[in-house]
């Protein structure tokens, strides 16, 4: 029997129709099962958790059938209370499935402690950008008699002299004692 006669035969056409019907039935069953298994069309709306404490956020997410995952805390943000949520992923209002993990970034208890660099015998022009780059603020500039004009003689914080390696919170104000260019 030649191939052309076989392709035109009733047996071959019958097998093709049966195979096509089987594919359609299996596809229909698979799509229905997939729809049920993935809860197609069912979702939860992510609540806004920014500014809430960790315990309140946990209860809110539990009520909405969502899981909580705390990410590493970020830099301190003074606009939010300590240990409160400052960011969340996915954002509030997003539609997600049940038991989806919501990633939260928590506000730490305060600014990070930073080591004070040794800036004695440096000029004000060098010291000021160095302090600002580290996150400190330059406070009062006190001039005393010293031959080196604008040279840093001491660094002070809250009336106490700072030494190299002392740790202060970020955004602390550091006062500088500078030479005024006059002979003592």
Does the pLDDT of residue 109 top 70, yes or no?
yes
Separation CA 73–CA 173 (nearest Å) = 24
pTM for the model stands at: 0.58
3-state SS class at 165: coil
Task: Please state the rounded mean pLDDT for residues 87-114.
Answer: 87
H or E element at residue 179: strand 173-179
Decide if domain 44-106 falls under CATH 3.20.20.70. no
Q: Does the CA dihedral 111-113-114-120 come out positive or negative?
A: positive
pLDDT tens track for 31-41: 999 888 877 77
- The CATH classification number of 113-179 equals 3.30.10.20
Residues 6 or more apart in contact with residue 183 via CB below 8 angstroms: 145, 147
Does the pLDDT of residue 112 top 90, yes or no?
no
Q: In terms of pLDDT, which residue wins out, 8 or 52?
A: 52
């Amino acid at each position: 029997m030649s191939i052309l006669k076989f392709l035109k035969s009733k047996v071959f056409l019958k097998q093709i129709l049966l195979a096509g019907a089987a594919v359609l039935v299996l596809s229909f069953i698979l799509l229905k099962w997939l729809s049920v298994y993935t809860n197609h069309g069912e979702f939860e709306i992510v609540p806004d958790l920014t500014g809430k404490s960790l315990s309140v956020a946990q209860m809110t997410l539990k009520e909405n059938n969502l899981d909580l995952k705390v990410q590493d805390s970020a830099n301190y943000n003074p606009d939010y209370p300590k240990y409160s949520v400052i960011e969340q992923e996915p954002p509030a209002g997003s539609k997600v499935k049940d038991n989806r993990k919501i990633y939260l970034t928590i506000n730490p208890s305060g600014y990070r402690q930073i080591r004070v660099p040794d800036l004695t015998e440096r000029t004000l022009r060098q010291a000021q950008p160095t302090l600002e780059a580290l996150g400190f603020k330059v406070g009062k500039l006190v001039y005393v008699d010293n031959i080196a004009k604008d040279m840093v003689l001491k660094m002070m914080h809250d009336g106490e002299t700072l030494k190299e390696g002392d740790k202060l919170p970020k955004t602390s104000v550091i006062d500088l004692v500078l030479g005024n260019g006059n002979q003592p």
